[in-house]
Structure 1
Amino acid sequence: MEKLPIDDENSAARRLSQEEAPIYEALKRFRRMRIVPFDVPGHKHGRGNPELVELLGEKCVGIDVNSMKPLDNLCHPVSVIREAEELAAEAFHANHAFLMVGGTTSAVQAMVLSCCKKGDKIILPRNVHRSVINALVLCGAKPVYVNPDVDKNLGISLGMRVSQVEQAIISHPDAVAVLVNNPTYYGICSDLRTIVKLAHDHGMKVLADEAHGTHLYFGENMPVSAMDAGADMSSVSMHKSGGSLTQSSLLLIGSNMNEGHVRQIINLTQTTSGSYLLLSSLDISRRNLALRGRESFAKVIEIADYARGEINAIGGYYAFSRELINGNSIYDFDSTKLSVHTLEIGLAGIEVYDILRDEYDIQIEFGDIGNILAYLSIGDRRQEVERLVSALAEVKRCYQKDKAGMLTQEYMDPYVVTTPQESFYAEKESLPLEATEGRVCSEFVMCYPPGIPILAPGEMITKGIIEYILYAKEKGCSMTGPEDADIEYLNVLKHV
């Protein structure tokens, strides 16, 4: 019987190659063996669940296995998972890389929890993903928000200006970290190198949410990646633009972070039963990007530029790109992002999103009040983009209307009263949405995607926010977060 290799004294010393995929190769060897499973999972290579086999196939369920010595253990990797981490770190220019099976949400939370404890301050833009504020609920750190500039024509929030970050650092010299979106969902990048230097000069760590920036490590003429800019930690959604399975991500760290401490933090919340389907997909996708990423993402940019030209030629739409760069709040732009402003044809982005799905069988990544985002990556081809362009032309011809009375602003400055943790766990009461003006919210309200909170725990509810929520609901935005799924009621603090 063929034996699976386990960790030995020589494994750490041998030179790994980006052409290898250690987890995937170990699973292939495992499949050739006739192992009798008296462990979990209970479907026993699919024999106990034929419908699951029919859905996923024998190959897939056959490698849905539990941690065992020959396949290593995600919580304490010493062999094939450890090798996969080392290869990922090399590919992404990091000191170490952790394979994450709880999505980039778990990676973002591990970043914050690794640097912040109760009472610590962290400087961050308010247009962060909810996972960041969730982490503040868990650890009790205090957010110091840098309110980003807003493009009034597009209605979107931009990056953090260096001067804004500097002022926040001067005003809060006891802050422990600065968090930066790199890039935002819309492709906007801050001046990350300068922010890193500024933070490091003041003894602060820099954390980067690179959920939408996997390709920055492999493409040419792209915005700088977090690791290359000198950031201390970065969360990378391999499953978004990197091609791995949904829910698989990477957490990267620089030389200033303690690998053992970070792994301890990860193990506080990450599963002890890591999916080998997700782990092997990370392994294979890293190899694919390391070997072919540069060429692949050059094609993505070519397709995106072609799409922008065709969409802008329709008239009424605005597919924006690098012309927005101002060297400050838009220091750089991720050209793979195909964001399209729709308000000039009298339709909210979410309305165009719904029409494309319901009438043209085209699924866009998201639609908000004024924009849609078509997420382009290594699996896209020109013919699908041409279908999108044709559909957008028809949507304009068939559905265009007067834009009078439409909301244009996507971002509103928050008024923070208490910390996310204090308000989330405080005594609360439920009130009708329209009756909450002037009260302090104790839960989240957001459109998903992108998952950036309109309201977060501890923030004052204003008339403008109530009007925005009602408008977004009316237009069909997918609203999530509150205890009341219909968002007719909100939980607010009782005594504030």
Structure 2
Amino acid sequence: MIIEKNSVRLSEDNTPLLQGLKDYSNRHIACFDVPGHVKNKGVKILNDFLGDDVMKMDINSSPYMDNVSKPNGIIKKSQDLLAQAYECDKAFFVTNGTTQAIQTMILSVINPNDKILLPRNIHKSVINALILSGGKPVYIQPEFDEELGISLNVSYLSVKNELEKNNDIKAIFLLNPTYYGACCELEKIISLCKSYSVLVLVDEAHGAHFPFHDDLPPSAMKLKADMAAVSMHKTGGALTQASVLLVNEENIHGEKVSQTLNMLQSTSASYLLMSSIDGARYNLVNKGRLQLSKALNISQYAKYKINKIPGIKVISHKSCNREGMYLLDETKLCINVKNLNITGFKVYDILYQEFDIQLELGDLYNILALISLGTTKGDVDRLIKALDIISKMHKKETILKSASMKQINPIVKMNPRDAYYSEKESLDLANSTNRICGENIMAYPPGIPIISPGEIITREIIDYIKVLKSSNAHLTDMLDKELNTILVIKEK
């Protein structure tokens, strides 16, 4: 396939970085540079485990292999092809995950005390970006489904109301989609924000596949967002930790973005990760439609079968067409197990321990399964059979009442940056009501903060943390790993 963009014809059948890395690794080069394993010669245990090809391709940058900090050779060609595939002006390889891409987006446009509008169900990387930039968060509450116990996406009206109340918003940060697959009216919101001269930054970590099938929600770049951070490893097929940052330059200075990325990214970026982005892009462009058609068909089959299991149901666009879910990524199976009187955390554990099935996450009410490029019908049939067995084992007349999902409405008392650098002390969690929190606390996955630095600790938040602890949720980022105490800002 050959596409014309900006009068330059780029062949999508090329993989400049992947092929260049293969060619370089196959040359009989005497290496006197890093890395110290010297291809397949120095560390036998790694060579035996990973294989000759991987070890030979784990190289460092050189004038002959281009440099991600200032690409002008095979990395640049590969990034240009990526930009073309995602219909944007510029694309940057990112090797420290979408965390780094998100932080680059925010640091590129948000200065100290600039206001940024964002939903509360953001990833912790956004909070950390505010700590680094000094930006002021203005939160929008996403819509919430009480029955499913999940946050959806933001509504157009909620964005409009906040823009009318805050005439000094510098940028908005949106999710496309949420962790559970919910998409907002992104095109309409982007148009609204442009009328207010507000920059649009999009966390598209779970939407790498969107541009490559017409039955999926539209991508942020196609709808002319200013920047998007995309996890190529999540749904695009690249190696874990491989991500990309996409830019439309109408309102964004690409060189500023490049400088910010160079400030955060290693000068020894992994060629294995970067070349996997090149290969994943090639696959999505040339085979993505066929693979995603298969994935969508498997997803429809799975939803039909799982919805017949007593006590279990799968979220779908038809059953959940409302504010905050303008569109749904149908490759995500959000499976509600509340009526089994068992938490999603427990179902997640049972599926892994007793059936060798690995899910994306469990929460109080749900489990999340992803139907991806490589998912087979056989794997889905295993999941269906296992859920049927679990349903019969745990069929109860009562509905889970001891735990309830919450949507936290934070009271922001200090900027995250100011709170991070303030002097702190530890208090018993039970006695911390009305104090200002000094740390992030979240369940991972998905890594959405329950409370963040600078927010008021309320009784509701304390009770919710206790529920999560008693449900064996995997809580992270706090200093006290048992979470009996919590860091608070020291009072003067």
Which of 221, 241, 245 matches 2:235? 241
> Which of 463, 477, 484 is the aligned partner of 1:467?
463
Ranges in structure 2 where 5+ consecutive residues have no aligned partner: 1-5
Question: 1:482 and 2:478 equivalent?
Answer: yes
Q: Deviations over 1:134-183 (max 9, x none)?
A: 10011100000001121111111111111111111111111110111000
Counterpart in the other structure of 1:171: 165
1:106 aligns with 2:100: yes
Find the aligned partners of 1:421 and 1:403 in 2 and give their Cα distance: 42
Structure 1 unaligned spans of 5+: 1-11
What's 2:428 paired with?
432
Deviations 1:420-472 (A, max 9, x none): 11111111101121121211111001011100001111111111211111111
Residue 374 (structure 2) aligned to one of 365, 371, 379: 379
CA contact (8 A) 2:118 2:174 kept: yes
Q: Is the 8 A contact 1:347 1:400 kept in 2?
A: no
**Does residue 336 of the first structure (1) align with residue 327 of the second (2)?**
no
Which amino acid in structure 2 is aligned with residue 483 of structure 1? L
The 5 A counterparts of 1:261-276 are 261-276=256-271
CA separation of 1:472 and 1:400: change in aligned 2, threshold 3 A: farther
C-alpha distance in structure 1 between counterparts of 2:80 and 2:170, whole Å = 28
> Is 126-135 or 27-36 further displaced after alignment?
27-36
Equivalent residues in 2 for 1:48-197, closer than 5 Å? 48-197=42-191
Q: Is the contact between residue 324 and residue 330 of structure 1 (CA under 8 Å) also seen in structure 2?
A: no
Percent of matched pairs sharing the same residue: 41
Q: Which residue of 2 aligns with 1:370?
A: 365
TM-score, normalising length from structure 1?
0.96
Match of 1:218 in 2: 212
* Structure 2 partner of 1:294: 289
Alignment match of 2:402 (pick from 394, 398, 406)? 406
Do 1:96 and 1:254's aligned partners in 2 also have CA atoms closer than 8 Å?
yes
Q: Whole-Å Cα distance in 2 between the matches of residues 193 and 457 of structure 1?
A: 32
Q: Distance in 2 between matches of 1:490 and 1:232?
A: 38
Q: What is the CA deviation profile of residues 78-115 of structure 1, one whole-angstrom value per residue up to 9, with x for unaligned ones?
A: 00000000000000111111011010100011111111
Q: Distance in 2 between matches of 1:424 and 1:324?
A: 42
In the alignment, the residues of structure 2 paired with residue 412 and residue 14 of structure 1 have an alpha-carbon distance, to the nearest angstrom, of 49
SS in 1 for 2:311: coil
What is residue 422 of structure 1 aligned with on the other side? 418
Distance in 2 (CA, whole Å) between partners of 1:316 and 1:322 is 20
Equivalent residue number for residue 279 of structure 1 = 274
Q: How many residues matched?
A: 485
Greater Cα offset, 132-141 or 426-435: 426-435
Query: Match for residue 451 of structure 1?
Result: 447
Contact 2:339/2:400, CA 8 A, preserved across alignment: no
Q: Which amino acid aligns with 1:488?
A: N
Helix, strand or coil for the counterpart of 2:117? strand
Q: 2:395 matched to 1:390?
A: no
Task: Measure the CA separation in 2 of the matches of 1:404 and 1:155.
Answer: 12
Report the more deviating stretch, 433-442 or 198-207.
433-442
- The structural deviation recorded for 1:407 is 2.1
Q: How many angstroms does 1:38 deviate by?
A: 0.7
Q: Is the 8 A contact 2:441 2:475 kept in 1?
A: yes
Return the TM-score normalized by structure 2.
Answer: 0.96
Q: CA deviation at 1:13?
A: 10
Instruction: Give the superposition deviation at 1:14.
Output: 7.5
The letter of the residue matching 1:457 is P
Structure 1 position 325, deviation (Å): 4.7
Aligned to 2:3: none
Separation of aligned partners in 2, 1:404 and 1:276: 48
Could you tell me which amino acid in structure 2 is paired with residue 490 of structure 1? Answer: I
Classify the secondary structure of the residue corresponding to 1:313: coil
Which secondary structure does the structure 2 equivalent of 1:228 belong to?
coil
Residue 441 (1) aligns with residue 437 (2):
yes
Q: CA deviation at 1:200?
A: 0.7
Secondary structure, counterpart of 2:113 in structure 1: coil
Letter in 2 for 1:307: A
* 22, 28, 47: which one aligns with 1:28: 22
Letter in 1 for 2:164: I
Give secondary structure in 2 for the equivalent of 1:429: strand
The letter for the 1-side match of 2:165 is: S
> SS where residue 69 of structure 1 aligns?
coil
- Is the Cα contact below 8 Å between 1:341 and 1:371 reproduced in 2? yes
SS in 2 for 1:226: coil
Aligned partners of 2:433 and 2:458 also within 8 Å: yes
Q: 1:353 aligns with which of 345, 348, 352?
A: 348
